[in-house]
Structure 1
Amino acid sequence: MQTYLRPTPWDQRNFHIPTYELTSISEEALHQSNEHEGHFTLKIDPLANTELLNKYGFYYVDTLIEPVCHKSALKFTEKDGVELSYNYNKSEILRITAEAFQGGRFHRDYNIPNFMADNRYVNWVKDLIEENQIMALKYEGSTAGFYAYEGNKILLLGMDASYRGKGLAKPFLSKGASEHFSLVDEDELVTSISPSNLPSLNLFISTGFKLRNTVDVYHKLNGSLPVGG
Structure 2
Amino acid sequence: MPDYLQATPWDKRNFGIDTYEITSMHDVALEAADKIKGHFTIKVPPLENPRPLIQHGFYYMDTLMEPVCKQEDFLLLEKTGISVSQDYHADAVFTIANQAFMHGRFHRDFHIPNQLADLRYMNWVRDLHDRKEILALYVHNKLAGFFGFSGNHVLLLGMHEEFRHKGLAKTLTSQCCQLLFDKGYEELRTSISAANVASLNLFYSLGFRLKNTVDVYHKLNGPEPAGAS
TM norm structure 2: 0.97
SS at match of 2:107: coil
8 Å CA contact 2:65, 2:212 repeated in 1: yes
Unaligned runs of 5+ in 1: none
CA RMSD of aligned residues (A): 1.2
- Offset at 1:225? 2.6
Residue matched to 2:64 = 64
Residue matched to 2:212 = 213
SS at match of 1:165: coil
Is the alpha carbon distance of 1:173 and 1:209 closer, same or farther for their aligned partners in structure 2, counting shifts above 3 Å?
A: same
SS at match of 1:205: helix
Matched to 2:95, the amino acid is R
Residue matched to 2:151 = 151
Distance (Å, rounded) in 1 between the aligned partners of 2:3 and 2:181: 37
Unaligned runs of 5+ in 2: none
Residue matched to 1:105 = 105
8 Å CA contact 2:15, 2:227 repeated in 1: no
Residue matched to 1:120 = 120
Aligned residues: 228
Seq. identity, %: 50
Distance (Å, rounded) in 2 between the aligned partners of 1:162 and 1:137: 13
Residue matched to 1:84 = 84
Distance (Å, rounded) in 1 between the aligned partners of 2:121 and 2:22: 21
- Offset at 1:101? 1.1
8 Å CA contact 2:113, 2:225 repeated in 1: no
8 Å CA contact 2:152, 2:185 repeated in 1: yes
Query: How do residues 32-51 of structure 1 correspond to structure 2 at under 5 angstroms?
Result: 32-51=32-51
Query: How do residues 162-173 of structure 1 correspond to structure 2 at under 5 angstroms?
Result: 162-173=162-173
Matched to 1:16, the amino acid is G
Matched to 2:210, the amino acid is L
List, as ranges, runs of 4+ consecutive aligned residues in structure 1 with deviation greater than 4 Å.
none
Residue matched to 1:24 = 24
Distance (Å, rounded) in 2 between the aligned partners of 1:226 and 1:195: 26
- Offset at 1:164? 0.7
